[in-house]
Chains A and B, each alone.
Chain A
Amino acid sequence: MKYILLMSGTKAGVEGYHAWSKEDIEAHMGVLRRISQDLTESGEFVATQGLAEPKEAKVVRGEKNGVPVTDGIFPESKEFLLGYWIVEVPNAKRAYAIAGRISAASANLPIEVRQFATNEAKSR
């Protein structure tokens, strides 16, 4: 079963992270690297990515004629995706355990766990 673990935060939260000490950021990144390594060794790793800062985000809509309209204005409360992990695990419990490790490495930030639509198709 494939799951995506989503780490999100507000712009204010991202600024707070930049105020962390260099040692704290290194320790945080070190644990995240270790988690990726462990998942690779257990065969559960599919992919991970960090996203560029929220200030780079745009929202795009198609106009009537299909021409893109871009905007970069978001409400202050909006949660931006900061990064994600895709894992392939036997059950939801294991996905939650991995999300718990990521949370613990990241100041107990909540991690949203979502399964892929293809899992549902398989179980139908």
Chain B
Amino acid sequence: MKYILMMNTMKAGHGVPDWPRKDLQAHIAFMMGLNKELHERGELVSGEGLSFPDQAKLVCADKNGRPITDGVFPESKEFLAGFWIIDVDNQERAYDIAARISAAPGPGGAALNMPIELRPIMSAPPQEMV
């Protein structure tokens, strides 16, 4: 079963977090270690970190199909900071991995306990849409 785990922790305008350098390094080392472990278990399909929200754009098509870009977002909007796609035996395993990501170390090495949104991935579009 494939799931996507989403870290939606960023807010509009945010850039690199203002953490001490060694705390940022510990956070990144934790994520790299987890990715290596998931890869070795054959559970990691893909994972990426996204650039910070200060570079995000919103694109809409105009009447002629041309792109209109905008970079103004509501303050309440949650921005995707990174995601993991995993292929696991069951939902419980997906929850366990999400909890480990949630508890990644933050400033001073304390667990962030950030919320991780977990969504099943459609293996194929619903029959009526094909």
Contact = CB atoms under 8 A, between A and B. Distances in A.
Contact of A113 (B57, B98, B101, B118): B57
B56 A103 contact: no
B111 A62 contact: yes
A29 B118 contact: no
B115 A52 contact: no
B4 interface: yes
Interface string A79-113: 11100001000001000110111011000111111
A100 B6 contact: no
Contacts of A101: 61, 65
Contact of A47 (B46, B95, B103): B46
B49 A115 contact: no
Contacts of B101: 62
Contacts, number: 154
For the side of the interface on B, what is the size category?
35 or more
Instruction: Output the residue of A60, A70, A80, A110 with the most chain B CB within 10 A.
Output: A60
B99 A114 contact: no
Nearest to B55: A115
B50 A61 contact: no
B128 interface: yes
Interface of B: 4-6, 46, 48-51, 55-62, 65-70, 76-80, 82, 85, 95-96, 98-103, 111, 113-122, 125, 128-130
Of all A-B residue pairs in the complex, the 4 with the closest CB atoms, nearest first, are: A100-B67, A62-B103, A68-B99, A104-B61
